[in-house]
Structure 1
Amino acid sequence: MMFIIISAILLSSLGAFALQKSNVEIDNAGAYSIGGYIAFIISFALLEYGLISMPLVFVLGIWAAGNAVFTASIGYFLYGERFPKKKIIPLLFIFFGLLGLSLT
């Protein structure tokens, strides 16, 4: 079931980036917008499916924290966004907290 939640996290973050990209690349704005909306719809459907067998607090906590870590990682690696090292440590705590939750 954790695979479904991770898929929802990835699709939600990719949907956000597609919508952001639709504002930057005007020529392909329609394609990015449609892709972003589709990613969000599938993400929320997967999130709903994950709620069937897991507690709400667990699923939404993982989903929110996972989105923060994945979005920061994508921004750093794909878009070259930089942030101070003191912000990397809390992201690592979130990541390892998520890893610990998924292993229990």
Structure 2
Amino acid sequence: MKGFIFLALAILLEVFGSTMLKLSDGFTNLWPSVGVATGFLAAFTLFSFALKTLPLSFAYATWSGAGTALTAVIGGFVFGESFHFLKISGLFLIIFGIALLNASAGKQTQSEKT
């Protein structure tokens, strides 16, 4: 259970760091630049804690996919970036791909069992 909590927090902090990266304006604004460093350092630290109990393929797929989806949503709502059918479709495909990867993680082939 702890692994999932660490993973969720790592996702949120990675999204925070990405948002601050946009606001840092190429690292020319001090406080958003500090937010980038803090957000990513904390995200990677918590992600490493999550990997103590979660499989790498599951954790990384969830982290990167959820981070991508949340960052795209923030881009649309906070920064006014375009949000059209293709972008929404792509986000659904990412989520669907993560679900497939995670569903297959629990299944082993016969050759892996022996």
List per-residue Cα deviations over 1:28-76 (Å, max 9, x = no partner): x111111110111100000000000011111111111111101101001
In the alignment, what sits opposite 1:85? 85
Normalised by the length of structure 1, the TM-score is 0.81
Q: Which residue of 2 aligns with 1:5?
A: 7
Q: How many residues align?
A: 101
- Judge which range, 42-51 or 77-86, deviates more: 77-86
Distance 1:10 1:49 in 2: 15
Instruction: Give the stretch that moved more between structures: 83-92 or 7-16.
Output: 83-92
Bigger CA radius of gyration: 2
Using the alignment, how far apart are the partners of 2:81 and 2:89 within structure 1?
A: 16
Secondary structure in structure 2 of the residue aligned to 1:10: helix
Q: Give the unaligned 5+ runs of structure 2.
A: 107-114
Kept in 1: contact 2:15–2:67 (CA 8 A): yes
Q: Please name the residue that 1:15 is paired with.
A: 17
**Residues 25, 78 of structure 1: CA spacing in aligned structure 2 closer, same or farther, 3 A cutoff?**
farther
* Deviant stretches of 4+, over 4 Å: 96-101
Q: Which moved more, 1:12-21 or 1:47-56?
A: 12-21
Q: AA paired with 2:49? A: Y
1:89, CA displacement in angstroms? 2.0
User: Counterpart of 1:53?
Assistant: 53
* Structure 2 CA distance for aligned equivalents of residues 2 and 21 of structure 1: 29
TM-score under structure 2 normalisation?
A: 0.75
Q: Note if contact 2:20-2:35 (Cα within 8 Å) is conserved in structure 1.
A: yes
Matched with 1:44 is 44
Structure number with higher helix proportion:
1
Greater relative contact order, per chain length (Cα 8 Å cut-off, separation 6+): 1
Aligned Cα root-mean-square deviation (Å): 2.5
